[in-house]
Structure 1
């Protein structure tokens, strides 16, 4: 069976979703900040404002021990000055920002009214109804600063997000960002806007997530600026084959996310989920080059030609493939075409569907008591049929696990061939649709019932088939929808 061919098509960028708050970064260097309150929480706000370079005027008749300790040791930047009296309407003169920590709601409202009358934005701690802005959790790799807000809905969640980001960003990022600041003028002076500057900064970013900068790095980067300017660097067009995993964006590797964030153009398959595409650089052009069984698909030659054309224009092309690019992803054909044209190509592996299925149902595909071998098989040849070269006797062995990709429409033939080679009809089997996606569904039963089980799965979703003794141990994933096995005929 053949499928019609279609041409690659550009996909519209996704619309920016609604924001609970607008994230902004306020310059407080050398500016006056008013803080009313002497509690431990107020001390933290005072330290935060001063760290941003503000001259903080603290109005607190009875400062807490924490506030007095802060005043004794001083802040990392800015200044701290205690006024041992309550706030009054005159304190807002010349202020850029005002923060108040009050137990009484009425005093919080009065503070806000006074600040607003003076044209000063105001925050009242733990009283969102009288706030013009809110504070979030902060990840400090200054000059790289990340703010995290849950709009007050779940502060503990915001702190958990901060901890997760902290683990991803090396402390040395501060030094690299400082180095970027020192060479920024040279980049602007020497490199043309667009591809030249982006090529340099991408090379810089690759270093910034490695070891801390050494003594010779700045000179090396200045040489790289000249190499990019004169066209002597290798920072030209290139292609990255990226594994998008089975659908859940949380299964992407960090390296995959970095590739998506640096892409000029993304060529993606039908099976790539919207959640994965959401992680891409917003300015990147997205082009669907759909490849899916029994549907209109782009010819592989057209995809190859498009990659060559775009990379030849100096662009970073990300070829985004469902699962892992090196497992039934035609990566070999694409790599060969790129190598022949002298286009640099690299591969970022992804989680293949078999791995995700095993995790979802809690089964080790190579459980040592049940399987001494694991085989990945395609159920779809170039002609649209089962491959003629499959060794069915090998696949029918006991104590082995076989995973069929793209085999749902050939399930009856698969069962017949395996049973003809002596595989027992009651051999455990499983079929899973939409692995790791919304609407994921799983059927579990015996080999003989596999075709009927697949028929009960949602249509349109990619289906993976697993056969072997290990699947007797399967337990349904928490979010999966089990499909009952059909009744045996009387």
Structure 2
């Protein structure tokens, strides 16, 4: 967990103390001046750049030495000296007075750190490693600098100029957000980039005059098995554009962190032994939110059409005449087995693969165990650990050898992934060791795990 709280501070016309007058201090002073701070310097020797700022009246040289009383009326203090004892004194006196303090290159003495900044004023992007890896942050900043167009600052300035007018014309916050999203993705952006500010404002006004409310819609999104980097580009775009996300209980925190910050997130998942939301209630929520004009994402683990009841939800939306679309995801049978080094098919071991669920409808028909027990195929069983003994016995009774390799993959594709391997006869005992959520793999290809494993321990 991060120990720093990211924040942008308004230093305009606020006094700031810099102890030190060398080249390092000059860099800090320059950034403070850019933020509009009233800079006071305490140092015996000033470098040429700092001396010039003093002569120009841009900063104040208040003393040759640091005195604790200099901290009384400043907003923050930066220590930029090469005297370790003095730096510790500055930090101690600042902390006693509840002043923000930064001691250059001495993280343990800092109550705040200065991030690396990509500046597209008024847009600022700050990145930090909490002082652990400055070189890595420098490399990352170089990449971001190349990716972020310089004209975005002008785009933001024009948006700020028109913000009140847009707010007056579009009273609904959802409509305002959609207007800005549409505008920034339109010809307006190109006009700003080309320096055609007047035409850009005319385009903005024209789009504002012609803006119409959009109906709500539902997007059924497959989140994959857990690793956030397995999300498709379309899935990522959908969850970042959603007004509300209804997600399964097993969606990883890393994926939920990618949801837009001001979007509503509701858990509607179902887990054994825990509170769950009935499917009928989930269906009703999807309809209700869409009818309110919201962009709704129904975020499901894996793929929504593989044991995800996605079709049932779409049937309800169709009946209610709610627009919808589907973004498929990597199902656990593909993702978890790949991360466990278990191929679903192999020329020497398995020519087919079958996916089944260990949870069937109470009134459902009996599984075709004779078909499932055939050799030369890989059987992947979702949600089957609770019925592991029944599965093992039926497969053996219908012809599958008790020595057939099996694997149970828990938390597939995630950092805490675990793989338990053994034989079909051992499946009930393996299931007791496995953490949920877990996937059972039965077949000769499961025996390749020990040779092909590549992810995790």
Please name the residue that 2:83 is paired with.
104
Q: TM-score, normalised by structure 1?
A: 0.70
| 1:182-239 deviation digits (Å, cap 9, x = unpaired) | 432332232115333233345457779x9896667655544443344xxx242x4222
Matched ranges for 1:29-40 at <5 A? 35-37=18-20, 39=22
Deviation at 1:455, TM superposition (A): 3.5
Task: Describe the SS at the equivalent of 1:245.
Answer: coil
1: CA distance, partners of 2:420 / 2:271: 22
Deviation at 1:240, TM superposition (A): 2.7
Please name the residue that 2:434 is paired with.
457
Please name the residue that 1:344 is paired with.
323
Deviation at 1:44, TM superposition (A): 3.6
Please name the residue that 2:420 is paired with.
443
For residues 62 and 356 of structure 1, do their structure 2 counterparts lie closer, same or farther at Cα, with a shift above 3 Å needed?
farther
| 1:21-75 deviation digits (Å, cap 9, x = unpaired) | 44332334577766454555434424433444558677777777xx86x999x9x
| 2:245 aligns with one of 240, 243, 266 | 266
Matched ranges for 1:95-134 at <5 A? 98-108=77-87, 122-127=101-106, 131=110, 133-134=112-113
| 1:255-282 deviation digits (Å, cap 9, x = unpaired) | 6555445544332323334554455456
For structure 1, list consecutive stretches of 5 or more residues without a partner in the other structure.
Answer: 1-16, 481-490
2: CA distance, partners of 1:375 / 1:33: 67
Higher relative contact order (CA 8 A, sep 6+): 1
| 2:160 aligns with one of 157, 176, 181 | 181
Task: Describe the SS at the equivalent of 1:474.
Answer: helix
Matched ranges for 1:349-368 at <5 A? 349-366=328-345
Please name the residue that 1:466 is paired with.
441
Deviation at 1:308, TM superposition (A): 0.6
Over the aligned positions, Cα root-mean-square deviation in angstroms equals: 4.9
Confirm or deny that 1:45 pairs with 2:22: no
Deviation at 1:135, TM superposition (A): 1.3
1: CA distance, partners of 2:323 / 2:206: 22
For residues 471 and 118 of structure 1, do their structure 2 counterparts lie closer, same or farther at Cα, with a shift above 3 Å needed?
closer
For residues 126 and 341 of structure 1, do their structure 2 counterparts lie closer, same or farther at Cα, with a shift above 3 Å needed?
same
Please name the residue that 1:404 is paired with.
381
CA contact (8 A) 1:426 1:447 kept: yes
For residues 302 and 27 of structure 1, do their structure 2 counterparts lie closer, same or farther at Cα, with a shift above 3 Å needed?
closer
User: Which structure features the higher share of helix residues?
Assistant: 2
For residues 38 and 409 of structure 1, do their structure 2 counterparts lie closer, same or farther at Cα, with a shift above 3 Å needed?
same
Deviation at 1:368, TM superposition (A): 5.7
| 1:195 aligns with one of 162, 171, 174 | 174
CA contact (8 A) 1:202 1:262 kept: no
| 1:280-332 deviation digits (Å, cap 9, x = unpaired) | 45654444333346877544333222211121112332322222223221222
2: CA distance, partners of 1:175 / 1:420: 72
| 1:427 aligns with one of 404, 410, 429 | 404
1: CA distance, partners of 2:230 / 2:57: 45
Confirm or deny that 1:159 pairs with 2:142: no
Task: Describe the SS at the equivalent of 2:221.
Answer: strand
Confirm or deny that 1:305 pairs with 2:284: yes
Task: Describe the SS at the equivalent of 1:99.
Answer: strand
| 1:75-111 deviation digits (Å, cap 9, x = unpaired) | xxx998798x956779999987653311113433676
Please name the residue that 1:7 is paired with.
none
2: CA distance, partners of 1:59 / 1:294: 64
CA contact (8 A) 2:225 2:336 kept: no
- Count of paired positions: 446
